[in-house]
Amino acid sequence: MSKSPKLQFIELQEKLIRERPEAHEEATHLANRVVLCKNANADRIWKVLWNKPLYANARVSVARNWADQLECDILGAWNTWGSHPDVFLISQIAPGINRTSFKVEGDLARDIINRNSIALHRLYRIQGAAIALRKRAEIFAKPFADLNRSGQGLTDQIQMLQNEFGPGWGPVTILHFLTDLGLAVKPDLHLVKTMSTLGLCKEISPNKVPSLKEAVRLNYLVMKLILDIGNQSVTPHNLRYTDKILMEISRLGLLDQCSQNSQLRLGSEANNNITYSIEGM
């Protein structure tokens, strides 16, 4: 009989700790640095929010290069981007993502755009997040403290934030933001590969962008895994840690030892209508 998915995960986690301790240290570091939205002001939220559109459909190395280009301009940019056409305003004037689909106004906007190679549609999405954060900060000192406070389901959270942030903020990009808040995992290629190889989500292909329904189901399966390996609850810290471990197991090529015949046992009862509470957020 093949090993259960949770035992396979524990073995892979131990193998990663033993053979690639730097990956485990990074996962621990990320977990310790998770931004608790109940305590985070607008500046703290902005630090983990603004760069997410740079990673959508882009290589990590390229996205990081774009982020470096904007580093000197982005501090406090949530106060100004999209605030006034005399300062910084990017407007979409035609369908599509070509440069001609957008209108740029304001000296600050033109200066930033002339100094970097980032596509306008990505800057437009960052502007959308700035506007949404600014609106929340006008009302709440801790702009995103409401997330999950009322037991709101993950699907509802994603759709709410998509409406607030505007065009271009797909479910995966929203989940990338929520990952840094310890409220979700990002369903990237490597995380999906690990979960699929463990037999936990064989119906979700790692070769395409998951749908909203698939992304939410994957999150609930990861939360269930966290509980099934012995944790008393799902917390922002162990969710962020597990997200990174699942990703690194695949990225570092540790899946070869995993049984290809593992059965879909763990997580088979997970339901998209279930709301998992995350303690300590």
For the chain, 281 residues long, give each residue's pLDDT as a single digit of tens. Answer: 478 999 999 999 999 999 999 999 999 999 999 999 999 999 999 999 999 999 999 999 999 999 999 999 999 999 999 999 999 999 999 999 999 999 999 999 999 999 999 999 999 999 999 999 999 999 999 999 999 665 679 999 999 999 999 999 999 999 999 999 999 999 999 999 999 999 998 888 888 889 999 999 999 999 999 999 999 999 999 999 999 999 999 999 999 755 444 443 434 444 444 444 566 55
Distance of alpha carbon 215 from the chain centroid? 11
Nearest to 30 by CA among 173, 174, 237, 198: 237
Burial of 125 (0-12, 13-18, 19+ CB in 10 A): buried
Place of tokens 């090993």: 3
Nearest to 32 by CA among 229, 240, 219: 240
Q: What's the whole-model pTM score?
A: 0.89
SS3 11: helix
> What single-letter amino acid sits at 144?
F
